[in-house]
Amino acid sequence: MDLLDDALQTASPATDAAVPPALAELLDGAVPPITADPASASLAWPPATRPRPERRPELVYLAGLRPSGRRSMTARLKGVAALFGGASLDAVPWERLRYQHVRAILVQLERRALAPASLQTALAALKGVARESWNLEYLGAEEYARIRAIKAPSGSRQPAGRDVARGELAALLDACAADPSPAGRRDAALIALLYAGGLRRDEVAGLQLGDYQRDRERVRVLGKGNQERFVPLATGATAALEAWLAARGGAPGGLWGAINKGGRLTGTGLSAQAVYTMLGKRAAQAGVARLSPHDLRRTFVGDLLDAGADIATVQQLAGHASVATTARYDRRGEQVKRRAVALLHVPFRPPR
């Protein structure tokens, strides 16, 4: 219970008793209902009496994920619940989810023009809930196999976000340098690792003091899928990290720490959301356009490829599962296309 409560503290029960817009019309009206098995009844509102938390497939599924995945998949499932007019995960009796519901949900999400990657993530979340429904014996093996066989729509989009110019990076670090408190040093080291290490915000937030290997000038990173990698650091990043450690001290624990308004370190933990908030604050101070931690990561990949680094090496440094993911951030193709288009001549003359 404690694990589920701690892991899913954002999944609070719905408090509104109002009936959302035609749940049956949205889902069960889209496909023939299943009537042979009472357990396969439609997803009706209000939900039937829900099982205890430890028997709810959506909570069991989410509790088994890493914090970053839990946050993402909770958001996806809440998005599905929103289709039903519900404000929380409890708006849907997930243990009664069946093949036709998953198919209808995908249709509804496609109509909302979601990107293919978002559709794939939503389907992965629904399949994860279905797996736990099967494990908890709400779902038969045949029905679960049908859900597993559903494929997400194909397609691709360009990566979200933007590249960070060198001048912007310098301005961010200057804003940190102008802060005489320990937060200035901490934030400079965070920004340096986000860029020079290409770390995801969850990865950088989760670093422990022991992950920094001073003698080898590298950090040990535990990434997606519990995959370990070692990322060597550029000289400037090492200098920024050493400056922060001089203020932090050598107490074991998280590499970073919260700092109160008086400039005192209050602990050795830092959340991924705090990293995001920090970057927004420093961008505002530096007069830099809004950016995210992922923008620094994509710039890390693009800058290395522009400099001639081998794409397979960059893939390893970034912790991408596939080189195809790394290739999406390769700006060289765009530059080649621009040079090619520049060879054309359009004989346009403005009207007199």
Q: State yes or no: is 294 an active-site residue.
A: yes
- State how far the Cα of 130 lies from the Cα of 100, in Å rounded to an integer: 12
Conformational region of residue 340, where left means phi above 0, alpha means psi within -120 to 50, and beta covers everything else: alpha
What does the radius of gyration of the chain's CA atoms come to, in whole angstroms?
24
Q: Are strands 228-232 and 212-213 parallel, antiparallel or unpaired?
A: unpaired
Q: Which of 127, 224, 229, 331 is catalytic?
A: 224
Determine whether 200 is an active site residue. Answer: yes
- Choice among 101, 201, 297, 298 that is catalytic: 297
Where do we find the tokens 């060289």? 332
Q: CA nearest 197: which of 316, 317, 321?
A: 317
Coil vs helix vs strand at 265: strand
The single residue of 70, 101, 185, 200 carrying the catalytic annotation is 200
- Tell me whether the omega of the peptide bond preceding residue 13 falls within 30 degrees of 0, making it cis: no
What is the helix (H) or strand (E) element at residue 231, kind and residue range? Answer: strand 228-232
Q: Are 63 and 96 spatial neighbours (Cβ–Cβ below 8 Å)? A: no
The amino acid at 225: G
The dihedral sign for the CA sequence 9, 118, 304, 296? negative
Residues classed as catalytic: 200, 224, 294, 297, 320, 329
